[in-house]
Structure 1
């Protein structure tokens, strides 16, 4: 079964081939239109797709073709390049197919803004079209849409072939799961994945005097088994440079790249920067992508932490072979509200038995501030916790860890 990535490539090749071998394909040839967030030429849309798009798009403004856009958008000139036409159509078709797949699995987060063939045209006038739902419905969807644009630009500067060469000089991968098990066995409490985190969309800046290397070293001194490093720049003020700096500083704790992974390219990039583990979020990735990305991680020696935040996602992830590490996020990823009882709810008797039989480690995430919170999720069945805010805000993160657990867990 093909992943969405493989499917996208296959569709692109098929579309290009189809147009090159169909000289009688009917294309409209004048004026330009704006569909969703992108201006596209009418020469890039076949007439039959124009008609199909009529039912899905709504007209919100008409402007003369000669007028300049006031919003700073770029109007692409008409093009006769058949392969460019094919790519435009392919992008729309893949987007529709992705929507259908993720919807069937209960995923409400759309991977990118919905776009499609334009509504229709009148003479020399240009139409700006607004498809229904082109505004992000929540913060997670906004982050994912931005990440799609960000990754596209990064891939242009550093193609996958260059990243694969960079892996030759990457530091060796360390055993993330082994570190968690050893810590839990040594301390008798959930192993700590301490998060190097400067800010979040819900809390703003958590620490003004933010030095990622010093914080990482303080976490390691305090008994953290592993570290999670935020690499998203726009919403969390993190960076891959932070990840690389911590690795190069000699911190021995295995490192989780805390990123919104939507493409396989990001996995290679994280590995090249020194990551030992990758986060995959079930709320934004369909099963095929989780399987595909997990195989890439295994090939590169990386650990995969698959994050869930509701029962449907838990069922989906437990249905995937080879999963070793599941994170239960107590934060609703759409509203950002936190409820630590979510961990207990998702670790009911049926799920807990399946997790035990497959020797899966469960990580409790979000809303953990006190020793009572740690005890609560431990009793529910977690063997590790991922904590950021409650310890990164402390003047001395090392002491913050002792306060979180109610005892010193350092070596």
Structure 2
């Protein structure tokens, strides 16, 4: 059993305990659209990530609101919040706190296998959800995608190889992320973005996002030069003493030339 298989099995057990979502009384700040931002200029999806299966604890005691405000002030295109509790030590409450505090798009970063997770994400203020092609059968992928779109959410569809890219394109996905981390082995190579960019239809309607392995500004520059409009950065920002400066340098004119 791979790490991804283990996480997905756990997720199916977790959702059995979820109750139907009630209407929310929280008035979240209105959010812009990530797609529009990345069509106009390159950007960083800045992640709040307490821990991971591959890296262990990263910053478990982070003040998620303070961290999110640093990201927003530095010009982040969106904020990703890891909500998985078992393997990443996040929570849906982290998402809610961030969504209440910022006016940029907020991604619920989790392993989505059910509509109720999408409902919970939206109820907590998320405006984008993640669907991982490798984690879902094609029919389920399509149904969850359509469900999220019908709710007015943006969907980041994550792929790892050429076959999965074509599956994402079949969906007519507008936000397509290349995970440079192999979710079966957890090996990382930013070259994966460059390889799939060669097959990506840069038609102005959809954008390519490079995920994982963004440890340095040089990694960010490589991803942008390969054709990515966005990069998703978690660990590097969580470990940085000045995450705002990291974001600003990664999206400077010099970095994206």
TM-score (norm: length of structure 2): 0.92
Are positions 1:140 and 2:4 aligned together? yes
Q: How many residues align?
A: 254
Match of 2:88 in 1: 236
Q: For residues 358 and 395 of structure 1, what CA distance do their matches in structure 2 show?
A: 36
Residues 229 and 408 of structure 1, relative CA distance in 2, 3 Å threshold:
farther
Larger-Rg structure:
1
Q: For residues 358 and 399 of structure 1, what CA distance do their matches in structure 2 show?
A: 29
Are positions 1:175 and 2:33 aligned together? yes
User: Which sections of structure 1, spanning at least 5 residues, go unmatched?
Assistant: 1-136, 185-189
Are positions 1:324 and 2:181 aligned together? no
Match of 2:135 in 1: 284
Does the Cα contact within 8 Å between 1:365 and 1:386 map onto a contact in 2?
yes
Are positions 1:262 and 2:109 aligned together? no
Structure 1 position 286, deviation (Å): 2.0
Deviations 1:367-395 (A, max 9, x none): 11222212211222111111111111112
Does the Cα contact within 8 Å between 2:217 and 2:246 map onto a contact in 1?
no
Match of 2:188 in 1: 338
RMSD: 2.0
Deviations 1:124-181 (A, max 9, x none): xxxxxxxxxxxxx121111111111001111xxx12xxx2x41576645642222333
Q: For residues 232 and 192 of structure 1, what CA distance do their matches in structure 2 show?
A: 21
Are positions 1:223 and 2:80 aligned together? no
Q: For residues 192 and 169 of structure 1, what CA distance do their matches in structure 2 show?
A: 27
Pick one of 191, 195, 208 that aligns with 1:362.
208
Structure 1 position 358, deviation (Å): 6.3
Match of 2:161 in 1: 310
Pick one of 223, 235, 238 that aligns with 1:389.
235
309-318 vs 211-220, greater mean Cα deviation: 309-318
Structure 1 position 236, deviation (Å): 0.5
User: Which sections of structure 2, spanning at least 5 residues, go unmatched?
Assistant: none
Match of 1:198 in 2: 50
More RCO (CA 8 Å, sep 6+): 2
User: 1:245 aligns to what SS in structure 2?
Assistant: helix
Does the Cα contact within 8 Å between 2:44 and 2:251 map onto a contact in 1?
no
Pick one of 134, 152, 177 that aligns with 2:16.
152
Q: For residues 388 and 369 of structure 1, what CA distance do their matches in structure 2 show?
A: 9
